[in-house]
């Protein structure tokens, strides 16, 4: 159990929570605040939306234990709120609810729009509410209600609050919550890269027991000793990995850097360090690393083991890779093992292409691709899977 202190609807709350309890369960089961609804519990439908440090956030993909020091406002906490009062009246007037299941989350997101938008622009309202799904499909009435509240407030001279008062955007809250003690890399400021000597002090690389392991192979048309030599060039290898940027000069045993992964609207910047071990006799090696994305409070630990095998009478090299990883935190809930496996396969393929280019003296293409676009990967993935299913069905 983890002891936390936080503020819920302006009331101080102290509680012991299981590390895996999400914020919505904590509020509903622990505090009887059942106005926060649960639909998908995957961060998709928006039914569980509430305010975390004054920003709309999905409580089903937010750990309660990560909210120590945070200020939570649920729909119950907006009883006396000016905007919420106007929105409730407008929802009634415009028939903006039917079963009402989506309504608490919808009101929280709508309140944020009323606060921020200077004019009642329908397109912006629809975009702003696109993360809240209404299974009764009452969107026309909902949009009409939100437009009317914005229009009336601006007519009365109530000015919008730029950015809704927020200073940062991110998947869960404004980042004002208390820091968790286990976050070695958490002292880093988002968007800024810590000096290498600071990182060297802050980041400890523990031994890893991976929760998931995937294996891959690829072949490059160069002899093993040449490839092994290339693997010893830490900066060169990093340049072959899409989304990776070193934050200081590496040594043969250690490197520090940032890996950026973009999954649709969510960008994660894992800042961390890696320990490098090589075995010349066995033409093999191991890279052990840890990285933390401060915004989503997600930590990843992993290891890459490689072994080089001579093929084509030593003219080419088969690279056997074993990639093990563990993911803890918010992103662990949406990063399904299948998606991560396929992502690793794509990364490996891109790494192999870049490695081959580098061995041939050509600059790796990864330098121009600083992040991974999860949507593109997802679409490619779905295409590949659809192709596979069609081949199985029609035998083509």
- Footprint of ligand FES (CB under 6 A): 38-41, 43-48, 58, 60, 97-102, 134-136, 138
DSSP state of 161: -
User: Least distance to ligand FES from the beta carbon of 188, Å?
Assistant: 29
User: Least distance to ligand FES from the beta carbon of 100, Å?
Assistant: 5
Q: Among residues 102 and 237, whose Cβ is nearest to ligand FES?
A: 102
User: Least distance to ligand FES from the beta carbon of 105, Å?
Assistant: 8
Cα separation, 287 vs 300, in Å, equals: 14
Cα separation, 12 vs 18, in Å, equals: 19
Q: Among residues 47 and 237, whose Cβ is nearest to ligand FES?
A: 47
Q: Among residues 114 and 133, whose Cβ is nearest to ligand FES?
A: 133
User: Least distance to ligand FES from the beta carbon of 43, Å?
Assistant: 5
Helices (H), the chain: 23-25, 31, 82-93, 103-116, 122-128, 139-155, 196-202, 224-231, 234-240, 337-359, 374-394
Handedness of CA 42, 44, 46, 47 (dihedral sign): negative
User: Least distance to ligand FES from the beta carbon of 347, Å?
Assistant: 28
Between the alpha carbon of residue 330 and those of residues 61, 92, 172, 210, the distances in Å are: 6, 35, 9, 18
- The answer to whether the CB of 334 falls within 8 A of the CB of 42 is yes
CA nearest neighbour of 172 among 70, 58, 263: 58
Q: What are the structure tokens assigned to 28, written together?
A: 């509903």
Q: Among residues 49 and 354, whose Cβ is nearest to ligand FES?
A: 49
Q: Among residues 136 and 360, whose Cβ is nearest to ligand FES?
A: 136
- The answer to whether the CB of 309 falls within 8 A of the CB of 320 is yes
User: Least distance to ligand FES from the beta carbon of 292, Å?
Assistant: 24
Q: Among residues 62 and 174, whose Cβ is nearest to ligand FES?
A: 62
Q: Among residues 46 and 171, whose Cβ is nearest to ligand FES?
A: 46
User: Least distance to ligand FES from the beta carbon of 254, Å?
Assistant: 40
Residue 179, phi then psi, degrees to nearest 5: -85, 145
Strand order in the sheet with 55-58: 11-17, 2-8, 71-73, 49-52, 55-58
Q: What are the structure tokens assigned to 258, written together?
A: 């940032």
């Amino acid at each position: 159990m983890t002891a936390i202190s936080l503020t819920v609807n302006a009331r101080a709350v102290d509680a012991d929570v299981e590390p895996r309890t999400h914020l919505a369960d904590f509020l509903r089961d622990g505090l009887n605040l059942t106005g926060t609804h649960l639909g998908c519990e995957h961060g998709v439908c928006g039914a569980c939306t509430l305010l975390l440090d004054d920003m709309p956030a999905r409580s089903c993909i937010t750990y309660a234990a990560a909210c120590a020091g945070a200020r939570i406002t649920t729909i119950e906490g907006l009883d006396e709120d000016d905007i919420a009062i106007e929105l409730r009246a407008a929802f009634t007037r415009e028939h903006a609810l039917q079963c009402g299941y989506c309504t608490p989350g919808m009101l929280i997101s709508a309140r944020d729009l009323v606060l921020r938008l200077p004019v009642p622009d329908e397109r912006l309202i629809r975009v702003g509410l696109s993360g809240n799904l209404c299974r009764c499909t009452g969107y026309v009435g909902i949009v009409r209600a939100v437009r009317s509240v914005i229009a009336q407030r601006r007519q009365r001279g109530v000015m919008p609050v730029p950015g809704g008062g927020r200073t940062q955007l991110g998947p869960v809250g404004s980042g004002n919550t208390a820091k968790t003690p286990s976050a070695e890399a958490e002292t880093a400021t988002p968007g800024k890269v810590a000096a290498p000597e600071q990182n060297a002090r802050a980041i400890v690389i523990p031994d890893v027991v991976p929760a998931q392991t995937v294996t891959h192979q690829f072949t490059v048309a160069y002899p093993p000793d040449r490839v092994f030599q290339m693997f010893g060039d830490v900066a060169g290898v990093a340049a072959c990995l899409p989304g990776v940027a070193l934050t200081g000069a590496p040594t043969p045993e250690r490197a520090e850097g940032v890996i950026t992964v973009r999954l649709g609207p969510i960008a994660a910047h894992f800042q961390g360090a890696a320990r490098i071990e090589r075995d010349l006799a066995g033409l093999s090696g191991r890279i052990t690393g840890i990285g933390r994305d401060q915004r989503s409070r997600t930590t990843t630990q992993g290891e890459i083991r490689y072994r080089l095998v001579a093929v084509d009478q030593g003219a080419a090299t088969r690279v056997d890779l074993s990639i093990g990883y563990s993911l803890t935190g918010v992103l662990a809930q949406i990063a399904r093992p299948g998606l991560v496996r396929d992502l690793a396969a794509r990364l490996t393929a891109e790494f192999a292409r870049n490695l081959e280019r580098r061995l041939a003296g050509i600059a790796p293409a990864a330098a121009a691709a600083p992040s991974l676009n999860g949507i593109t990967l997802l679409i490619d993935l779905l295409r590949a899977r659809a192709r596979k299913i069609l081949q199985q069905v029609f035998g083509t």
